[in-house]
Structures are given as C-alpha cells and as structure tokens.
Amino acid sequence: MNITQEAVLKALSTVEEPDLKKDLVTLNMVDKISIDGNKVSFTIILTTPACPLKELIRKRCEDAIHEHINKKVEVTVNMTAEVTSTRFGTTPVLPKVKNVIAIASGKGGVGKSTVTSNLAMALTKSGAKVGLLDADIYGPSIPTMYGVENGKPEVTEVDGKNMILPIESLGVKIISMGFLAPAENAVVWRGPMASKALTQFLGDTLWGELDYLLIDLPPGTSDIHLTLVQAVPVTGVLIVTTPQKVALADAIKGVAMFRQPQINVPVLGVVENMAYFTPAELPDNKYYIFGKDGGKELSRRFGVPFLGEIPLVQDIREGGDNGVPAVQDADETTVKAFEGLAQGLAQQVAIRNASQPKTQKVEIKV
C-alpha cells in the first residue's frame, strides 16, 4: 500500500495535543507532509518554542503513524513553533506583540525582576522573540540585571513619529527608566508622570514583532498597574511570591486586583521564589528561612497553576548583580528551575489563548 497524505493526516488526527485537548489536525498543527517511499516526514507547529510537551508529542506522532499506517514507516517529525496570540486587532498599541505578560506580586522584593529577567532569557534561548519592559519607574533593576546600565536608547522616526529603539542585550529587547534617568538621582514623581513614562514605553517604543513582551511591574496595586491595563490588553499575569505570610497577604491583593471584574486579566500561574536555602557544605539540608509552601497554598486558593519553586541561591543574586541572568550559566538545579518555569508559563499562555476570550483593555476609569 502506498502511503498517502490523507493517511498521514488521518493517523495524526488521532493524536491529541495534551494541553489544548484537541487533535493536531483540527488544531492546524501539521504542516509540510512529505512522503518518499517508506519515509514520511512532517512538521508539527507548536504553540510555543518553549513547549514542555515537545518530546511527548513527537513520540505520539511516531506511534500514530506506526499504528495506523505501518510499523515499518521511517518517521521524521520536525518541530517548529508559532506562538499563538489573542491580541491581534485588539489595539493600536503593540500591534505586533503576540503576548503581553505582566509579572506582579503585590509585595516588594520577592524577586519579580529576577524572575522576569530569567524568564526572558529562557524564552529567548528556546527560540522565541522576547521583549522586556521594566515598568518599575522608581527602582528599575533590569538594566543592572542585563549588564546594560549605561544603555542610551536611540530615537528613530517612523511614519513621522519619534520612536525609541529598545536596547538589546543577550538577545532580549529592553526598555527601562534606568536608561533615561541618571542612576544617582531619584525619580521623584507623582503617579501621572510615572504613568506617562509607561505609556511611552508601551506605545512609543519600536518593539517590532515579539512573541512575548514581559512587563516587570513594581510592587503595589497603583498607578502603573492601572495604566498598564488601560493602555493595552494584557494576555495574562504571572504572580511571584515568597512563602511567608506577609508576602502572601500582598500576593492575594495582587491577584484580587487583576481579577476585579473591570480589570479581568487572567492569572496564568504562581511561582514561589526563595523557597529554601541549601548551604554547599550541607547539600541535603533545606532551610526554609521564609517559610514553606506558601506559593502552593496561594495557587490552590485561587485555583491557578503552580508553576514551580525557585530556591534561594547565591548564584541567582550574583547573576542579577553581574548582568547575566542565572539561567544562562548557573548550576543545573537553578537552570532547570527557571527553564521549567519558562516552559510552564509559555504553556499556560498557549492554553489561555486557545480557551479564553481576548483580554479587553480596561475602558472605565478606575
């Protein structure tokens, strides 16, 4: 029996995408089928290059061909990714950005900027196009964490409008107040000025095409947060917390804000940072300095995915201070923790895009 394109499609239509709960053919994920005698090759278009199910899906495709066509077919599954989006056509701001993801906490110092910078790096390494907007106008950390404290963005004219060019570091496009104000001065501004800066970072920056634009939010639930959801439809928010009570109390407020009916931004998941400390001399000991499992409890309470825990590791802090996110070159545990988080987040974005309505910009005045 000759192998046909139809037979391949029929076989692959028995393979379900585990997250999206539909088959690969229905999801339009199969492309470039080519048949050469006993050899079959095709491409699976994943919803994100950081897809944690890549190998599982590859295996299932091979099995399906073997089962439904013939055990002896030589199958080559190529993998590519096209990040999904629900943002296109929703807004003139960030028109070519597929997903806008806010990283928030409520509480200060829980590691929003650290998580954001490592996420940006991990997603970039997986092959995605990533931007990082540092929305902490008063205490911008991203320039330090990417080793570009002296970055001075250029301005270029596009269609008669002056646009800021983001600074690129380690493959990530970055904009931050740290590029515009001298490090030794305070930006002593009331809310409206800070909001104006954010609006420019969003609308007057030449971001170009991005799969993910990560927004590193400041602590609190105030002007910057409101301006963000009023300026652009936000795909979803990642909540960073540390395990202790005072951090959870503020994370709860963070979730509550994004879930307010008039704001209504999906919470994609919770990550617990600074979960425990392990001294090099006592590799089996875990010191839960800030408490235990607080992030897990939070995710249960709000019925949102728990996307993992990041231990308290000197390398992570040093990566931040030295300008190279730890996921780039730290020890395996640390790298795995951040890569796992990036995969989990990208997965949640794909699920969100497949199953939930578009986020709307917040129109009413809050």
Alpha-helix residue ranges (DSSP H) falling in 260-331? 294-302, 314-322
18 binds, among Mg ion, a second copy, ligand ATP, none (CB under 5 to 8 A by kind): none
The residue type at 78: N
CB 124 within 8 A of CB 331: no
**106 marked as binding residue:** yes
* Beta-strand relationship, 236-241 and 97-104: parallel
**176 marked as binding residue:** no
CA 317 to CA 173: how far, in whole Å? 22
- Give me the least distance between CB of 190 and a second copy, in Å please: 5
**37 marked as binding residue:** no
Stretch that binds Mg ion, among 28-36, 73-81, 112-120, 283-291 (CB under 5 A): 112-120
Q: Is 112 in the site for Mg ion (CB under 5 A)?
A: yes
3-state secondary structure at position 282: coil
CB nearer to a second copy: pick between 85 and 144: 144
Per the rule left: phi > 0, alpha: psi between -120 and 50, beta: everything else, 155 is: beta
Contacting positions for ligand ATP (CB under 6 A): 105, 107-114, 136, 139, 141, 218-219, 244, 246-247, 273-274, 290, 310, 312-313, 316-317, 320
CA 47 to CA 42: how far, in whole Å? 16
223 binds, among a second copy, ligand ATP, Mg ion, none (CB under 5 to 8 A by kind): a second copy
Q: Is 113 in the site for Mg ion (CB under 5 A)?
A: yes
CA 221 to CA 298: how far, in whole Å? 18
- Give me the least distance between CB of 251 and a second copy, in Å please: 9
Look up residue 33 and give its DSSP letter: E
- Give me the least distance between CB of 197 and a second copy, in Å please: 12
**110 marked as binding residue:** yes
Alpha-helix residue ranges (DSSP H) falling in 69-169? 112-126, 142-145
Q: Is 141 in the site for Mg ion (CB under 5 A)?
A: yes
Contacting positions for a second copy (CB under 8 A): 106-110, 113, 138-139, 141, 144-145, 183-192, 194, 218-223, 225-226, 244-246, 249-250, 252-254, 256-257, 260, 263, 277, 279, 281-282, 285, 287-291, 312-314, 317, 320-321, 366
3-state secondary structure at position 96: coil
CB nearer to Mg ion: pick between 52 and 139: 139
CA 119 to CA 170: how far, in whole Å? 13
Which residues 6+ apart lie within 8 Å of 281 measured at CB? Answer: none
273 binds, among Mg ion, a second copy, ligand ATP, none (CB under 5 to 8 A by kind): ligand ATP
Q: Of 307, 262, 290, 278, whose CA–CA distance to 103 is shortest?
A: 307
CB nearer to a second copy: pick between 42 and 146: 146
Q: Could you tell me the CA-to-CA distances from 242 to 84, 301, 318 in Å, in that order?
A: 30, 15, 19
- Give me the least distance between CB of 278 and ligand ATP, in Å please: 11
310 binds, among ligand ATP, Mg ion, a second copy, none (CB under 5 to 8 A by kind): ligand ATP
Residue 43's beta-bridge partner residues?
A: 31, 78
CA 46 to CA 58: how far, in whole Å? 11
**308 marked as binding residue:** no
Q: Is 107 in the site for Mg ion (CB under 5 A)?
A: no
Residue 134's H or E segment, with its range, is strand 130-134
How far the first Cα of the chain sits from its last, in Å, is: 66
101 binds, among ligand ATP, Mg ion, a second copy, none (CB under 5 to 8 A by kind): none
- Give me the least distance between CB of 321 and ligand ATP, in Å please: 7
**286 marked as binding residue:** no
Q: Which residues bind Mg ion (CB under 5 A)?
A: 112-113, 136, 141
Binding-site residue numbers are: 106-113
Residue ranges for the known binding site for ATP are 106-113
